[in-house]
Amino acid sequence: MSLRLSTVILPYRRWSEGGRSAWMRAEQLGFHTAYTYDHLSWRSFRDGPWFGAVPTLTAAAAVTDRLRLGTLVTSPNFRHPVTLAKELISLDDISGGRVTLGIGAGGTGFDATALGQEPWTPRERADRLAEFVPLLDRLLTEDAVSFEGRFYSAHEARNIPGCVQRPRLPFAVAATGPRGLKLAARHGQAWVTTGDPKLYENGTPEQSLEALRGQTEKLSEACAAIGRDTAGLDKILLTGFTPDRGRPLQSLDAFVDFAGRHRELGFTEIVIHWPIPDSDFAADEKVFERIAMEALAQLP
């Protein structure tokens, strides 16, 4: 099974002070996709610079030619399907059809309260995502959409000419629960996971592999329930949140071993964080670049 290697570039640097060069370098290194986080602020970066995902990806589209671009992930916490669809169609056009939308239910971080609302419960987030994704699907594939839902509405929303990618740009649905996995099976061109968060602090890499195996099996069951072959759904692992943490980026051999074990589980794409000094994503840039250029060729 072939494996793709991608990266995620956090939008914490001004475009003129390293932001632009990172996206250009990602293309030079041969990454399949460069993603960014779609947050208003995030964790330890809250009190420092943090830029918007869609403008950042638009700028990245203008300085790259082959690199795919995407979000990991967009959520309903501060997005509305109607306005998001318009931005995505524009971004897909500017990039020449190189955009993937990572989408998930979101969490209880700063995005959850920045608009003045109380943070939603996991059930409430799942309820919104279950309405958000099908409506966004329609908005990206139909010229005009009217819809009255429990959470979202659209009144003769026009989205002409639609996406460059047909019938629309691909969705990579982040999910581990049954409702999210059903959305991934029905609407996703890819599925995204970060592993089992309960194992991050005290779990082992072996336990993480077993948890991921269980997630992929549940995804297969969700696909089978609607008559879909799971082989047609890409499986993306966003690294850095399993018990392995940053160890796979410590050496080329360590990453090749990590990638090989996860490829055996059926993953088709592994995403590694662009190094950020003095953070949870600190890594040796020379090792990182060597992984980008050499790791996949060393997989058996």
pLDDT attached to residue 268: 98
| Main-chain phi, psi angles of 290, to 5 degrees | -65, -40
User: Which tokens go with 119?
Assistant: 């943070």
Q: Which two tokens stand for residue 145?
A: 């959409």
Q: Which of 147, 150, 171 is nearest to 159 (CA)?
A: 147
CA angle 236, 218, 265 (to 5 degrees): 45
Residues whose CB is less than 8 angstroms from the CB of residue 53 and which lie 6 or more positions away in sequence, other chains included? 11, 36, 37, 38, 39, 71, 74
* Both structure tokens of 275: 């190094």
Q: What gap in Å lies between CA 145 and CA 296, rounded to an integer?
A: 43
pLDDT number for residue 24: 98
Percent of the chain with pLDDT over 70: 100
All structural domains of the chain: 4-297 (3.20.20.30)
Contact 35/56 with Cβ under 8 angstroms? Answer: no
Mean pLDDT of the chain, nearest integer: 97
pLDDT at 1 exceeding the cut of 80: no
Q: Please state the rounded mean pLDDT for residues 50-57.
A: 98
Please state, in angstroms and rounded to a whole number, the distance separating the CA atoms of residues 162 and 159.
Answer: 6
The per-residue pLDDT for 119 is: 93
Residue 288: CB atoms within 10 A of its CB come to 18
Average pLDDT over residues 50-68: 98
What mean pLDDT do residues 111-122 have? 93
275-294 average pLDDT score: 97
CB of 51 closer than 8 Å to CB of 12: yes
3-state secondary structure 191-231: EEECCCHHHCCCCCHHHHHHHHHHHHHHHHHHHHHCCCCHH
Separation CA 255–CA 288 (nearest Å): 10
Torsion of CA 219, 224, 229, 233, to 10 degrees: -20
Q: How far is Cα 75 from Cα 212, in angstroms, rounded to an integer?
A: 22
Average pLDDT over residues 232-252: 97
What pLDDT score does 179 carry?
96
Residue pLDDT, tens place only, 74-105: 999 999 999 999 999 999 999 999 999 999 99
Rounded average pLDDT over 109-124? 93
Helix (H) or strand (E) holding 161: none
d(CA 181, CA 220): 9
Confidence of residue 300 (pLDDT cuts 50, 70, 90): confident
Q: Where are the alpha helices (DSSP H) in the chain?
A: 19-28, 53-62, 81-95, 122-141, 178-187, 205-225, 252-263, 285-298
pLDDT at position 49: 96
188-231 pLDDT, tens digit per residue, is: 999 999 999 999 999 999 999 999 999 999 999 999 999 999 99
